[in-house]
Amino acid sequence: QLTMSLNSSTLLNEENAQGPKRNTECLESLELQTPSSFQDNPLQQLQLASQEVLEKAKKSGRSKCPQCNSSRMFYCYTCFVPVETVPTKEIPTVKLPLKIDIIKHPNETDGKSTAVHAKLLAPDDVTIYKYPCIPEYEETRHEIALIFPGPNSVSVKDIAFHLQKYSKKGVCASNDDCSREPLLKKAKVEPEEEKNPNECISSSRSEGTRLKKVIFIDSTWNQTNKIITDERLQGLLQIELKTRKTCFWRHQKGKPDTYLSTIEAIYYFLVDYHQEILKESYKGQYDNLLFFFSFMHTLIKDAKCCAGKE
């Protein structure tokens, strides 16, 4: 959902070529706000690492991907690495309290997706899959939530309660003895990777929840049906983020402004999770997930202003 084949001189041409209907609604509404109301924009309040490296890269233009040698701006959206003009050591790294799987629609253009931001900024905790190649979640469904709006979706604050209900249905949520027989003989969960102490932080601080992984779908909203109806995603706890509004410049016409881009959804979920489940005050721990997003938002806004798009 986010094209990075941009610089300030070509930005508007590329945006217009893709159709202004998709991408100007949210941004134009931001530009029409008064200075005082604009301060309420959460992107203005982020605690971010220095974006000087992106400013320099913008001035120098497109650069090569160190892995595939493709010409890119800021990073390669197929290899998930910064380009040569953006040293990895100058890109912030964010540690997440749980693992994240992103399922990308096969028809979603790589260069338009904000999912790559999560992989770049939290490489140890984020995995991107291209549908239909996704994991089997059956054995660990009592530890997983799917972020997607729907009639059965619950709020973040209700995660612990609903995961406990999943456990009562016959899947053990801990290593302790269960009063019920296991649902399947293969109920023992095989470790996906080396355990990290932060993965279990929720179980010790949040009234019994064992949430260890969250799934996000990366596609246009009109493409989601193909993925959300996949049998491998059925029966998962479904979470909806209802109180946030998108700042994405490609907000899709006809959809509510609470339909977020992928990186926004990840960020806002983690902020809510930190406060509602971990029960800790939020002090900007995940703000750098919007490191690229906020920079691009400003770049596009400035380019539109220069072109008289206000």
**pTM summary value:** 0.73
Q: Which range has the top average pLDDT, 80-89, 158-167, 197-206?
A: 80-89
> 179 or 236: whose pLDDT is higher?
236
Please give the pLDDT value at position 103. Answer: 97
Cβ–Cβ < 8 Å for 88, 81 = yes
pLDDT of residue 159 exceeding 80, the answer is yes
pLDDT of residue 94 exceeding 90, the answer is yes
- CA distances 202 to 99, 154, 197, 217, 257, Å, are 12, 18, 10, 23, 30
Report the range of poorest mean pLDDT among 126-135, 178-187, 224-233.
178-187
Q: Please give the average per-residue pLDDT across 155-184, as a whole number.
A: 59
> 95 or 243: whose pLDDT is higher?
95
Please give the pLDDT value at position 248. Answer: 62
Q: Which range has the top average pLDDT, 44-48, 189-193, 291-295?
A: 291-295
pLDDT band, very low/low/confident/very high, at 169 (cuts 50, 70, 90): low
In 3-state terms, what secondary structure has residue 43? helix
Q: Which range has the top average pLDDT, 14-23, 27-36, 130-139, 192-201?
A: 130-139
In 3-state terms, what secondary structure has residue 251? coil
Report the range of poorest mean pLDDT among 79-88, 253-262, 295-304.
253-262
What is the C-alpha separation between 73 and 83, in angstroms, rounded? Answer: 7
Average pLDDT value over all residues in the chain: 76
> 159 or 42: whose pLDDT is higher?
159
pLDDT of residue 112 exceeding 70, the answer is yes
Q: Where are the domains of the chain?
A: 47-88, 92-164+209-309
Please give the pLDDT value at position 221. Answer: 74
Residues 130-148: b if buried by 16+ CB within 10 A, e if exposed: ebeebeebeebbbbbbbbb
